[in-house]
């Protein structure tokens, strides 16, 4: 039995090594502007990258990194999401408490929508076909209908939302950073349901979902990725990751989880089954690279970052850039 278990373990290690394929920083794209940044997103129509920072969103060619446009006047911008069938994109402007609406094809600004306080993470929810915005200071969600660009619901959460994901079947899951919980929201009625503790996980930030296995992946400030059953809130596993995680992404076709860690690493974890996970790589990035986007077509990972002057905590001019990680 011992020999059989040893052989199985060795096969698992070899498989993990092959899957890791030596991830590394394969490219760096310089981006104009020296303001603080947050999320990065991939436009599924034009295949361009959208890097949110300061009062603007820089639009980049995902292959060459060339600048292809700028969306201005987005004060304290955090995130970008796309309602493809409506032909619109949306930004969350944290200092203005608004969302900017733009044309998904040419980035022309179409309007502005009032949200809750400090809008942060944002996503397109496919079941309801609505835009969902996490308002960090008013502890609620703003639900926007892309057909009218009106807020059609406001969902009180009982805690500060950091990130939200959808299973595409009528359920939205939201990390509550100050409560160490995930709250379930009904995408039909936009009402809250169960609140599930993250156990040992503290300060949840990034969140991703594996819809095939119905598992949630919550990145926490205390260097843990908590794997939770999205059906009942049961904690399946807690996995060690790097410090300062603010982003989690799941590449479904590769069955791979990525966490972007502000300490300067990218944790790469193989989802070998609903309840079986193995860390296959810890990739050096740069200190401050805490958010990410994954291209599901090329499996490349993009992380915005800049260098800081330690004494003043200000960005070194000309250092804002996007790192590309690939095999």
Q: Assign residue 288 the CATH number of its domain.
A: 2.130.10.10
Instruction: Report how far residue 190's alpha carbon sits from residue 127's, in angstroms, rounded to the nearest whole number.
Output: 12
Per-residue pLDDT at 313: 78
Could you give the count of Cα atoms lying within 13 Å of 259 in the half-sphere of its Cβ? Answer: 33
Tokens matching residue 104? 């998904």
pLDDT at 11: 43
pLDDT of residue 1: 40
pLDDT at 309: 87
In a domain, 236, yes or no: no
pLDDT of residue 14: 41
φ, ψ of residue 168 to 5 degrees: the values are 75, 5
Residue-wise pLDDT for 50-93, tens only, equals: 999 999 999 999 999 999 999 999 999 999 999 999 999 999 99
Task: Give the per-residue SS3 of the chain.
Answer: CHHHHHHHHHHHHHHHHHHHCCCEEEEEEECCCCCCEEEEEECCCCCEEEEEECCEEEEEECCCCCEEEEECCCCCEEEEEEECCCCEEEEEECCCCEEEEEECCCCCEEEEEECCCCEEEEEEECCCCEEEEEECCCCEEEEEECCCCEEEEEEECCCCEEEEEECCCCEEEEEECCCCEEEEEECCCCEEEEEEECCCCCCEEEEEEECCCCEEEEEECCCEEEEEECCCCCEEEEEECCCCEEEEEEECCCCEEEEEECCCEEEEEEEEECCEEEEEEEEECCCCCCCCEECCCCCCEEEEECCEECCCCEECCCCCEEEEEEC
164 and 275 share a domain? no
Instruction: Give pLDDT, residue 21.
Output: 66
Q: For residues 54 and 185, state if they share a domain.
A: yes
Residue stretches of the chain with pLDDT short of 50:
1-18
Q: Domain check: are 46 and 115 in the same one?
A: yes
In a domain, 240, yes or no: no
Task: Please indicate, yes or no, if residue 231 is contained in any of the structural domains.
Answer: no
The domain total for the chain is: 2
Res 85: pLDDT: 97
| Whether residue 280 is found in the same domain as residue 168 | no
Residues 23 and 44 in one domain: no
Domain extent at residue 170: 35-197
Token code pair at residue 251: 């590449």
pLDDT of 10: 35
């Amino acid at each position: 039995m011992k020999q059989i278990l040893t052989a199985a373990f060795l096969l698992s290690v070899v498989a993990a090594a092959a899957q890791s394929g030596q991830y590394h920083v394969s490219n760096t794209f310089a981006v104009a502007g020296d303001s603080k940044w947050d999320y990065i997103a991939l436009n599924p129509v034009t295949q361009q990258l959208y890097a949110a920072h300061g009062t603007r969103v820089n639009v980049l060619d995902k292959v060459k990194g060339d600048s292809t446009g700028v969306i201005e006047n987005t004060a304290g911008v955090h995130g970008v999401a796309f309602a493809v069938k409506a032909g619109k994109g949306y930004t969350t402007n944290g200092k203005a408490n608004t969302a900017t609406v733009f044309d998904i094809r040419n980035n022309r600004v179409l309007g502005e929508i009032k949200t809750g306080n400090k809008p942060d993470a944002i996503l397109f929810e496919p079941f309801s076909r609505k835009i969902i915005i996490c308002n960090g200071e008013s502890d609620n969600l703003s639900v926007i209908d892309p057909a009218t660009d009106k807020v059609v619901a406001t969902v009180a959460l009982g805690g500060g939302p950091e990130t939200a994901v959808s299973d595409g079947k009528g359920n939205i899951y939201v990390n509550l950073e100050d409560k160490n919980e995930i709250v379930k929201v009904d995408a039909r009625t936009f009402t809250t349901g169960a609140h599930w503790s993250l156990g040992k996980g503290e300060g949840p930030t990034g969140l991703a979902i594996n819809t095939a296995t119905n598992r949630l992946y919550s990145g926490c400030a205390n260097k843990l990725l908590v794997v939770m059953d999205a059906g009942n809130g049961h904690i399946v596993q807690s996995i060690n990751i790097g410090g300062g995680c603010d982003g989690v992404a799941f590449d479904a076709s590769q069955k791979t989880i990525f966490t972007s860690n502000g300490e300067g690493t990218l944790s790469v974890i193989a989802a070998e089954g609903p309840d079986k996970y193995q860390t296959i790589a810890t990739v050096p990035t740069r200190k401050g690279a805490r958010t990410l986007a994954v291209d599901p077509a090329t499996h490349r990972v993009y992380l915005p970052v800049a260098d800081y002057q330690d004494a003043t905590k200000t960005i070194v001019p000309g250092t804002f850039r996007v790192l590309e990680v690939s095999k």
